[in-house]
Protein backbone atom coordinates (compact mmCIF):
# COMPACT_ATOMS: atom_id res chain seq x y z
CA UNK A 1 0.00 0.00 0.00
CA UNK A 2 2.88 2.37 0.76
CA UNK A 3 4.28 1.78 -2.73
CA UNK A 4 0.94 2.77 -4.26
CA UNK A 5 0.66 5.87 -2.06
CA UNK A 6 4.24 6.92 -2.85
CA UNK A 7 3.67 6.42 -6.59
CA UNK A 8 0.47 8.47 -6.41
CA UNK A 9 2.24 11.25 -4.45
CA UNK A 10 5.08 11.26 -7.00
CA UNK A 11 2.70 11.54 -9.97
CA UNK A 12 0.60 14.26 -8.32
CA UNK A 13 3.78 16.18 -7.41
CA UNK A 14 4.77 16.06 -11.11
CA UNK A 15 1.47 17.72 -12.01
CA UNK A 16 1.90 20.32 -9.25
CA UNK A 17 5.43 21.12 -10.41
CA UNK A 18 4.17 21.42 -13.96
CA UNK A 19 1.48 23.88 -12.88
CA UNK A 20 3.95 25.79 -10.68
CA UNK A 21 6.24 26.26 -13.70
CA UNK A 22 3.55 26.86 -16.32
CA UNK A 23 1.67 29.78 -14.78
CA UNK A 24 4.72 31.92 -13.89
CA UNK A 25 6.26 31.01 -17.24
CA UNK A 26 3.27 32.40 -19.10
CA UNK A 27 3.14 35.50 -16.90
CA UNK A 28 6.87 36.18 -17.31
CA UNK A 29 6.69 35.70 -21.08
CA UNK A 30 3.77 38.11 -21.40
CA UNK A 31 5.40 40.62 -19.03
CA UNK A 32 8.69 40.38 -20.92
CA UNK A 33 6.92 40.99 -24.22
CA UNK A 34 5.08 44.09 -23.01
CA UNK A 35 7.95 45.51 -20.93
CA UNK A 36 10.17 46.73 -23.73
CA UNK A 37 10.49 43.23 -25.10
CA UNK A 38 12.82 42.16 -22.27
CA UNK A 39 14.82 39.21 -23.58
CA UNK A 40 15.60 37.96 -20.06
CA UNK A 41 11.95 37.78 -18.97
CA UNK A 42 10.84 36.18 -22.24
CA UNK A 43 13.66 33.61 -22.01
CA UNK A 44 12.92 32.85 -18.34
CA UNK A 45 9.21 32.48 -19.08
CA UNK A 46 9.81 30.24 -22.08
CA UNK A 47 12.20 28.09 -20.02
CA UNK A 48 9.57 27.64 -17.30
CA UNK A 49 6.96 26.71 -19.91
CA UNK A 50 9.30 24.09 -21.41
CA UNK A 51 10.01 22.66 -17.94
CA UNK A 52 6.26 22.49 -17.24
CA UNK A 53 5.66 20.65 -20.51
CA UNK A 54 8.42 18.18 -19.60
CA UNK A 55 6.75 17.51 -16.22
CA UNK A 56 3.41 16.91 -17.96
CA UNK A 57 5.00 14.56 -20.51
CA UNK A 58 6.75 12.66 -17.71
CA UNK A 59 3.42 12.31 -15.85
CA UNK A 60 1.63 10.93 -18.90
CA UNK A 61 4.57 8.67 -19.78
CA UNK A 62 4.35 7.13 -16.29
CA UNK A 63 0.58 6.69 -16.78
CA UNK A 64 1.24 4.94 -20.10
CA UNK A 65 3.84 2.61 -18.55
CA UNK A 66 1.44 1.73 -15.71
CA UNK A 67 -1.36 1.01 -18.17
CA UNK A 68 0.90 -1.13 -20.40
CA UNK A 69 2.14 -3.12 -17.41
CA UNK A 70 -1.42 -3.74 -16.23
CA UNK A 71 -2.50 -4.90 -19.70
CA UNK A 72 0.44 -7.33 -19.91
CA UNK A 73 -0.46 -8.73 -16.50
CA UNK A 74 -4.09 -9.22 -17.52
CA UNK A 75 -3.08 -10.72 -20.88
CA UNK A 76 -1.14 -13.42 -19.06
CA UNK A 77 -4.06 -14.13 -16.73
CA UNK A 78 -7.20 -13.77 -18.87
CA UNK A 79 -8.37 -14.55 -22.39
CA UNK A 80 -9.02 -11.15 -23.99
CA UNK A 81 -10.98 -12.62 -26.90
CA UNK A 82 -13.41 -14.20 -24.44
CA UNK A 83 -13.74 -10.94 -22.51
CA UNK A 84 -14.38 -8.91 -25.70
CA UNK A 85 -17.01 -11.41 -26.83
CA UNK A 86 -18.75 -11.25 -23.45
CA UNK A 87 -18.67 -7.43 -23.48
CA UNK A 88 -20.69 -7.48 -26.74
CA UNK A 89 -23.37 -9.87 -25.45
CA UNK A 90 -26.84 -8.39 -24.87
CA UNK A 91 -26.87 -9.70 -21.27
CA UNK A 92 -23.85 -7.54 -20.35
CA UNK A 93 -24.71 -4.89 -17.79
CA UNK A 94 -23.10 -1.58 -18.83
CA UNK A 95 -22.72 1.44 -16.53
CA UNK A 96 -20.60 4.47 -17.42
CA UNK A 97 -17.43 2.76 -18.63
CA UNK A 98 -17.88 -0.40 -16.53
CA UNK A 99 -18.99 -3.71 -18.01
CA UNK A 100 -20.44 -6.52 -15.92
CA UNK A 101 -20.30 -9.50 -18.26
CA UNK A 102 -21.25 -13.13 -17.72
CA UNK A 103 -17.93 -13.96 -16.02
CA UNK A 104 -15.95 -10.71 -15.66
CA UNK A 105 -15.97 -7.15 -14.38
CA UNK A 106 -14.17 -4.76 -16.73
CA UNK A 107 -13.90 -1.16 -15.56
CA UNK A 108 -11.62 1.87 -15.50
CA UNK A 109 -9.86 2.15 -12.15
CA UNK A 110 -7.82 5.21 -11.12
CA UNK A 111 -6.68 6.04 -14.64
CA UNK A 112 -6.00 2.40 -15.36
CA UNK A 113 -8.07 -0.64 -16.26
CA UNK A 114 -9.43 -3.30 -13.93
CA UNK A 115 -10.48 -6.83 -14.92
CA UNK A 116 -11.48 -9.65 -12.59
CA UNK A 117 -13.63 -12.76 -12.44
CA UNK A 118 -16.61 -12.68 -10.12
CA UNK A 119 -15.11 -15.60 -8.21
CA UNK A 120 -12.14 -13.36 -7.27
CA UNK A 121 -14.34 -10.75 -5.56
CA UNK A 122 -14.21 -10.92 -1.78
CA UNK A 123 -16.06 -7.86 -0.55
CA UNK A 124 -17.90 -4.95 -2.19
CA UNK A 125 -19.60 -1.95 -0.65
CA UNK A 126 -20.98 1.46 -1.55
CA UNK A 127 -18.47 4.29 -1.24
CA UNK A 128 -18.67 8.06 -1.56
CA UNK A 129 -15.47 9.97 -2.31
CA UNK A 130 -15.37 13.57 -1.08
CA UNK A 131 -12.73 16.21 -1.60
CA UNK A 132 -12.76 19.04 0.94
CA UNK A 133 -16.40 18.27 1.74
CA UNK A 134 -17.52 18.22 -1.89
CA UNK A 135 -18.75 14.89 -3.19
CA UNK A 136 -16.58 13.91 -6.13
CA UNK A 137 -17.92 10.47 -6.99
CA UNK A 138 -20.00 7.59 -5.76
CA UNK A 139 -19.50 4.02 -6.63
CA UNK A 140 -18.57 0.55 -5.54
CA UNK A 141 -15.42 -0.09 -3.57
CA UNK A 142 -14.17 -3.60 -3.14
CA UNK A 143 -11.42 -6.07 -2.56
CA UNK A 144 -10.28 -8.74 -4.97
CA UNK A 145 -8.01 -11.72 -4.34
CA UNK A 146 -6.10 -13.98 -6.66
CA UNK A 147 -4.99 -16.04 -3.62
CA UNK A 148 -1.60 -14.29 -3.66
CA UNK A 149 -2.45 -10.69 -2.90
CA UNK A 150 -5.37 -8.34 -2.32
CA UNK A 151 -6.29 -5.44 -4.56
CA UNK A 152 -8.53 -2.51 -3.73
CA UNK A 153 -10.86 -1.40 -6.55
CA UNK A 154 -13.24 1.49 -7.14
CA UNK A 155 -15.85 1.45 -9.88
CA UNK A 156 -17.68 4.72 -10.53
CA UNK A 157 -21.39 3.84 -10.71
CA UNK A 158 -24.46 6.09 -10.41
CA UNK A 159 -26.09 5.98 -6.99
CA UNK A 160 -29.42 4.67 -8.29
CA UNK A 161 -27.76 1.66 -9.95
CA UNK A 162 -25.65 0.44 -7.04
CA UNK A 163 -28.31 -1.92 -5.66
CA UNK A 164 -28.78 -3.44 -9.12
CA UNK A 165 -25.03 -3.92 -9.44
CA UNK A 166 -24.88 -5.60 -6.03
CA UNK A 167 -27.72 -7.96 -7.00
CA UNK A 168 -26.04 -8.73 -10.34
CA UNK A 169 -22.69 -9.49 -8.68
CA UNK A 170 -24.37 -11.56 -5.95
CA UNK A 171 -26.07 -13.66 -8.64
CA UNK A 172 -22.64 -14.36 -10.15
CA UNK A 173 -20.78 -14.93 -6.86
CA UNK A 174 -22.97 -15.90 -3.88
CA UNK A 175 -19.91 -15.89 -1.56
CA UNK A 176 -19.09 -12.20 -1.97
CA UNK A 177 -19.52 -10.01 1.11
CA UNK A 178 -21.87 -7.12 0.32
CA UNK A 179 -22.14 -3.92 2.32
CA UNK A 180 -19.88 -2.17 4.80
CA UNK A 181 -20.81 -3.75 8.12
CA UNK A 182 -18.85 -4.79 11.18
CA UNK A 183 -19.50 -8.48 10.45
CA UNK A 184 -18.25 -8.17 6.86
CA UNK A 185 -15.20 -6.24 8.04
CA UNK A 186 -14.34 -9.03 10.52
CA UNK A 187 -14.90 -11.74 7.90
CA UNK A 188 -12.74 -9.84 5.41
CA UNK A 189 -9.94 -9.50 7.99
CA UNK A 190 -9.95 -13.25 8.59
CA UNK A 191 -9.84 -13.89 4.81
CA UNK A 192 -7.02 -11.38 4.45
CA UNK A 193 -5.02 -13.02 7.24
CA UNK A 194 -5.40 -16.42 5.56
CA UNK A 195 -4.04 -15.01 2.27
CA UNK A 196 -1.08 -13.20 3.84
Would you say residue 1 has pLDDT above 70? no
Domain region containing 163: 80-195
pLDDT at 10: 52
- b/e sequence 105-126, b meaning 16+ C-beta within 10 Å: bbbebeeeebbbebebbbbbbb
* Distance spanning both ends of the chain, measured CA to CA: 14
Integer Cα distance of 53 and 65 in angstroms: 18
**99 and 187, same domain (yes or no):** yes
pLDDT exceeds 50 at position 3: no
Q: Residue 190 sits in a domain of what CATH number?
A: 2.30.29
40 with 109, same domain: the answer is: no
The more confidently predicted of residues 92 and 22 is: 92
Write down which residue in 42, 57, 77 finishes a domain.
77
Ranking 39-48, 126-135, 166-175 by mean pLDDT, the lowest is 126-135
Is residue 31 domain-shared with residue 103, that is, in the same domain? Answer: no
If asked whether residues 135 and 84 sit together in one domain, one would say yes
Is the pTM value of this prediction over 0.75? no
Asked if pLDDT for residue 6 goes beyond 70, the answer is no
What residues have CB less than 8 Å from 158, skipping those under 6 apart? 95, 96, 138
Relative to beta strand 93-95, strand 98-100 is antiparallel
> In the prediction, which pLDDT does 7 show?
44
Which of 19, 45, 77 finishes a domain?
77
pLDDT in tens, 106-128: 877 666 677 888 888 888 888 77
Using DSSP, state whether 146 is helix, strand or coil. Answer: coil
Same domain, 101 and 70: no
Please give the pLDDT value at position 56: 79
CB-based contacts of 44: which residues, under 8 Å, 6+ apart? 25, 28, 32
**In a shared domain, residues 93 and 186:** yes
The residue out of 11, 46, 77 marking a domain boundary is 77
pLDDT cut 70: percent of the chain above it:
80
Q: For the sheet with 112-117, list strands across it.
A: 93-95, 98-100, 104-109, 112-117
Do residues 154 and 166 make contact, with C-beta atoms less than 8 angstroms apart? no
- Asked whether the beta carbons of 28 and 41 are under 8 A apart, the reply is yes
> Which tens digits make up the pLDDT trace of 17-32?
666 767 777 777 777 7
Ramachandran category for residue 110: left, alpha or beta (phi over 0 → left; psi -120 to 50 → alpha): left
Is 157 found in the same domain as 118? yes
Same domain, 103 and 127: yes
pLDDT per residue over 149-176, tens digit each? 566 777 777 777 888 888 888 888 888 8
**Among 109, 140, 112, 122, CA closest to 184:** 122
The stretch 64-71 carries a mean pLDDT of 73
Amino acid sequence: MDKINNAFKFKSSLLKLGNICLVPGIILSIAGYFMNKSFFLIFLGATLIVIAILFFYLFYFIQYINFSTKIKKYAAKYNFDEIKAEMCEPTTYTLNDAYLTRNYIVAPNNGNIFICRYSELLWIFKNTVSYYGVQVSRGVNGYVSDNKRLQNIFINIPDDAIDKVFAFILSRNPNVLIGFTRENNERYKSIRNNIN
